[in-house]
């Protein structure tokens, strides 16, 4: 199946929704070619600002612009967009409930060869506790477009977390994104695989392997990590015997933590959290890194067998 670029789609979507909408302003911090905000910037120069290498200034400036009534997108790599400027995100953006959309590209191990300095594995953990912040992790290009449109149309802070590499197409053009709604890609009776971003395709692959062993796995894309779709998660936990979460993020504070927080207090369920185990990443191709850190379909299959045997 054809793979598509999420950040490429982000740039195209920005241009589509922002070309004629004078309310939309886009900021970047010297990574516009990589984040693809330049697709917008080349055509709509008057509402595109390259802030240069000034991430702190970019975030607070974005908040200031939004406080005059604009919808502001701000992008750079996740490691700089969130880690570098956490206090600015917390106080300039969230405390003001500013209409700022943080769209980070190059999240997690998916960055690949640039290594640990550029592989943000803690951004979801940092943002989930922040009041007013919504956290979305699209699983393909179509969902990226819908999420960006949604964020543009709805007031207040959003974080949209994109991966560097291309991902398989999961949704067709009829797909409707809803904030706080997980999408059940495949129902199942034995075990539930909750995944986000680049890990959704791994979960789907794992479900295929499990099917050959007569284990019927549900695959659910929890693209809105915050607010969490509690109904869908509860429903899946009730219908199956165990759940697995898979994310290109630390096992601390991400999707797995969010689901564990919810289920442990409402419907204790056998569970395995798959992610990066509190270590830094390293250089390598994204595929090699996913193998090295055991974020693979094979690993999911193993864990599923263990959980329901």
Partner 1 sequence: MNKTELNRLTGIAREIRILIIKMLAEAGSGHPGGSLSIADILSYLYFKEMRIDPQNPEMQDRDRFLLSKGHAAPALYAALALRGFFPVEDLFSLRKIHSHLQGHPHHIDTPGVEASTGSLGQGLSMAGGMVIGCKLSQSEANIFSIIGDGEAQEGQIWEAAMTAGFRGLANLCVFLDYNDLQIDGRVSKIKDIYPVKEKWQAFRWHVLEIDGHNLEEIETAVDSFKSEKEKPTMVIARTTKGKGVSFMEDGVDWHGVAPNREEAEKALKELSNG
Non-local (6+) Cβ contacts of 252 within 8 A are: 122, 125, 278
Residue 59 near residue 92 (C-beta atoms within 8 A): yes
Q: Which of 4, 9, 55, 213 is catalytic?
A: 55
Residue 8 near residue 33 (C-beta atoms within 8 A): no
In the complex, the smallest distance separating the C-beta of residue 72 from partner 1, rounded to whole angstroms, is 8
98 three-class SS = coil
Non-local (6+) Cβ contacts of 231 within 8 A are: none
Q: Which of 6, 14, 44, 62 binds partner 1 (CB under 8 A)?
A: 62
Q: Which of 14, 65, 120, 200 binds partner 1 (CB under 8 A)?
A: 65
91 binds partner 1 (CB under 8 A): yes
Q: Which is nearer to partner 1, 15 or 198 (CB)?
A: 15
In the complex, the smallest distance separating the C-beta of residue 18 from partner 1, rounded to whole angstroms, is 12
> Look-up: residue for tokens 């991400």?
254
45 binds partner 1 (CB under 8 A): no
97 binds partner 1 (CB under 8 A): yes
260 binds partner 1 (CB under 8 A): no
**Residues 125-184 contacting partner 1, CB under 8 A:** none
Q: How far apart are CA 62 and CA 28, in angstroms?
A: 10
Count of residues interacting with partner 1 (CB under 8 A): 30
Q: Tell me the HSE value of 192 on the side-chain side, using a 13 A CA sphere.
A: 28
Q: How far apart are CA 222 and CA 197, in angstroms?
A: 9
The stretch near partner 1 (CB under 8 A) out of 7-15, 94-102, 142-150, 152-160 is: 94-102
In the complex, the smallest distance separating the C-beta of residue 152 from partner 1, rounded to whole angstroms, is 16
9 to 38: interface string for partner 1, x by CB under 8 A: -------------x--x-------------
| Residue burial 192-206, b: 16+ Cβ < 10 Å; e: rest | bbbbbbbbbbbbbbb
Closest CA to 134 of 58, 229, 6: 229
Which value, to the nearest 10 degrees, does the dihedral of the CA atoms of residues 222, 224, 228, 233 take?
-20
95 binds partner 1 (CB under 8 A): yes
H helix or E strand, kind and range, residue 100:
strand 100-105
In the complex, the smallest distance separating the C-beta of residue 124 from partner 1, rounded to whole angstroms, is 22
Asked if 9 is an active-site residue, the reply is no
Q: Which is nearer to partner 1, 27 or 259 (CB)?
A: 27
In the complex, the smallest distance separating the C-beta of residue 241 from partner 1, rounded to whole angstroms, is 45
Which residues contact partner 1 by CB under 8 A? 22, 25, 46-47, 49, 51-52, 54, 56-57, 59-70, 87-88, 90-92, 95-97
* Enzyme catalytic residues: 55
């Amino acid at each position: 199946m054809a793979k598509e670029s999420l950040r490429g789609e982000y740039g195209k979507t920005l241009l589509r929704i922002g070309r004629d909408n004078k309310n939309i302003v886009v900021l970047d911090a010297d990574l516009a070619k990589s984040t693809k905000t330049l697709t917008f910037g080349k055509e709509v120069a008057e509402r595109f600002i390259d802030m240069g290498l000034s991430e702190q200034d970019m975030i607070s400036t974005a908040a200031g612009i939004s406080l005059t009534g604009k919808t502001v997108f701000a992008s750079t790599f996740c490691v700089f967009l969130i880690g570098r400027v956490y206090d600015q995100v917390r106080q300039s953006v969230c405390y003001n409930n500013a209409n700022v959309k943080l769209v980070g590209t190059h999240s997690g191990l998916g960055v690949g060869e640039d290594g640990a300095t550029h592989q943000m594995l803690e951004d979801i953990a940092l943002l989930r506790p922040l009041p007013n912040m919504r956290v979305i992790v699209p699983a393909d290009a179509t969902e990226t477009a819908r999420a960006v449109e949604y964020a543009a149309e709805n007031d207040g802070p959003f974080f949209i977390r994109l991966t560097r590499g291309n991902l398989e197409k999961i949704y067709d053009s009829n797909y409707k994104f809803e904030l706080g709604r997980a999408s059940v890609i495949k129902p199942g009776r034995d075990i539930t695989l909750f995944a986000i971003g680049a890990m959704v395709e791994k979960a789907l692959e794992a479900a295929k392997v499990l099917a050959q062993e007569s284990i019927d796995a549900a695959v659910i894309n929890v693209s809105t990590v915050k607010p969490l779709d509690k109904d869908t998660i509860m429903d899946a936990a009730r219908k199956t015997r165990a759940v697995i979460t898979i994310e290109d993020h630390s096992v601390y504070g991400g999707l797995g933590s969010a689901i564990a927080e919810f289920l442990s207090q409402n419907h204790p369920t056998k569970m395995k959290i798959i992610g990066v185990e509190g270590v830094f990443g390293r250089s390598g191709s994204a595929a090699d890194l996913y193998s090295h850190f055991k974020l693979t379909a094979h690993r999911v299959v193993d864990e599923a067998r263990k959980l329901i045997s």
